[in-house]
Structure 1
């Protein structure tokens, strides 16, 4: 268990001792006595929140709209900076799912989330409350992670997979940190642009260009949190200039690069997700360039 201090915020953070057996899954445990208006920053993964504490976390998503308890949100959730999390005595396991495996684990495509957040009970029914009860019944975080891993592995094994061409295109975007030439992906897998764009959007929840933009933003935002200057980050992350970075950060978060550099949602990552830069995405069956299968691709980092 680690302690994360950010201003007046004090969180207990737990990490699994070993990687998940399901490639594309990472998780962390949080215990927060007073979660005071945390801005949600978009991330290139599907977020699964399993709560089991004395009180339920609350997401204020829009004027008059809230979501409580265990929930799931699609990649890029929180764009615009309008979503805030709050609560008292919050205890939860937060899971980040690569969009490539999210459809199998959730039993629904990330596209069905449409960039929003939904109650996990609406997707899983009784299984949602059952896993939360089990998490609350054990006292060890490592046991909680093992329970969560077993559930995710079982659902992943039984669920539908995405097209290998789509998985490969996502992998290229992630490995390049959002800088791969998007218009060339279709030709590399031997599909038409229309077919790849349609399948990518329907299976992963966002179109390729937005996926690349989100991955690039995530990489840049974490460099800002690490203390690097905006001009250097813009130059190294594929932005035309510092103003371009500023516009992208504003679009995703509703705030400036200087403000994002101090966001607790991002600052906690070094503790909660220590292997964030080395987390494997699911393996693709083979090299699909020009429609020809070659040697298997290895795992690559999910930013």
Structure 2
């Protein structure tokens, strides 16, 4: 998407592009969001690049995110960090004009660039220069001074390819399992995912901790919360939704949803496109 959208997204837009954004309809009225595929050589490691731009905001705009089970490298004038899996929600406040370039790695895809278990990054924001030294600091400078998003992305791609990543079958296995957990809304239990993977529950837990940075139970529950946020907009009865998404009762869903999203389901429903 190159131009800002003036109205609410239609069809599957929220699901396919904005899943995890709190109140995406308001967000798309405040800033422009674009997503770019990686060069084929990086496709085993990088899910996509994402770019947020905003111009002459009259007032600061805060966008809250309900995170995904992925590592992101984010570069803007305010910060230049690698974020491991963030267990809770987090937010970023935009002021004036600016641009953020993000690199969203595939689940497990950052491990070749880290050279160690991804769980050591979980819940942390690490400076790119701290992790990669002078080369990382140079990357940040090049991205911040790039004339446009394609040029900034080209710098990131050159940097990542220069690190010489090697494909890892386990990383690719875990990526497919995370996609399975996301796309299958009936997947609500770790033992079901373990059975589909052909692994024991304990083996699956070790694999996820090593490559994703967090356990499969958290991954499944987070995707079901993403699903809940979308379907609450549609006015689905909470008790029915809780049962379909594997919660023991409506109260349990409400507690989880409120803790992560920052408001109860009833309040979130009022933020929908019909407001």
Instruction: Tell me whether 1:256 sits opposite 2:264 in the alignment.
Output: yes
Instruction: Report how far residue 104 of structure 1 moved.
Output: 1.9
Instruction: Report how far residue 217 of structure 1 moved.
Output: 1.4
Instruction: Report how far residue 108 of structure 1 moved.
Output: 4.6
User: Per the alignment, do residues 259 and 96 of structure 1 end up closer, same or farther by CA in structure 2, a change over 3 Å counting?
Assistant: farther
Deviations along 1:91-126, one digit per CA (max 9) or x if unpaired, are 221222222212124445331112232222222222
Instruction: Tell me whether 1:25 sits opposite 2:13 in the alignment.
Output: no
CA–CA distance in structure 2, aligned partners of residues 205 and 178 of structure 1: 23
Deviations along 1:230-261, one digit per CA (max 9) or x if unpaired, are 42654654445543432221232232124445
Which of 70, 77, 86 aligns to 2:80? It is: 70
8 Å CA contact 1:4–1:10 kept in 2: the answer is: no
8 Å CA contact 1:178–1:216 kept in 2: the answer is: no
CA–CA distance in structure 1, aligned partners of residues 65 and 198 of structure 2: 37
TM-score for the superposition, normalised by structure 1: 0.65
CA–CA distance in structure 1, aligned partners of residues 207 and 52 of structure 2: 35
Which of 130, 139, 151 aligns to 2:138? It is: 130
CA–CA distance in structure 1, aligned partners of residues 28 and 200 of structure 2: 52
Report runs of 4+ in structure 1 exceeding 6 Å deviation: none
Pairwise CA RMSD: 3.5
Higher relative contact order (CA closer than 8 Å, sequence separation 6+):
1
Which of 209, 217, 227 aligns to 2:225? It is: 217
CA–CA distance in structure 1, aligned partners of residues 172 and 149 of structure 2: 34
Structure 1 segments unaligned to the other structure (5+ residues): 57-68, 268-303
Structure 2 segments unaligned to the other structure (5+ residues): 7-25
Instruction: Tell me whether 1:246 sits opposite 2:228 in the alignment.
Output: no
Instruction: Report how far residue 78 of structure 1 moved.
Output: 5.5
SS of the counterpart of 2:182?
helix
User: Per the alignment, do residues 107 and 92 of structure 1 end up closer, same or farther by CA in structure 2, a change over 3 Å counting?
Assistant: farther
CA–CA distance in structure 2, aligned partners of residues 134 and 108 of structure 1: 27
Query: What number of residue pairs does the alignment pair up?
Result: 244
| Corresponding residue for residue 105 of structure 2 | 97
Instruction: Report how far residue 15 of structure 1 moved.
Output: 3.6
Once the two structures are superposed, the pairs formed by residues 99-118 of structure 1 within 5 Å of their partners are 99-118=107-126
Deviations along 1:121-154, one digit per CA (max 9) or x if unpaired, are 2222223222222223432322333333343445
CA–CA distance in structure 2, aligned partners of residues 178 and 127 of structure 1: 44
User: Per the alignment, do residues 181 and 245 of structure 1 end up closer, same or farther by CA in structure 2, a change over 3 Å counting?
Assistant: closer
SS of the counterpart of 1:205?
coil
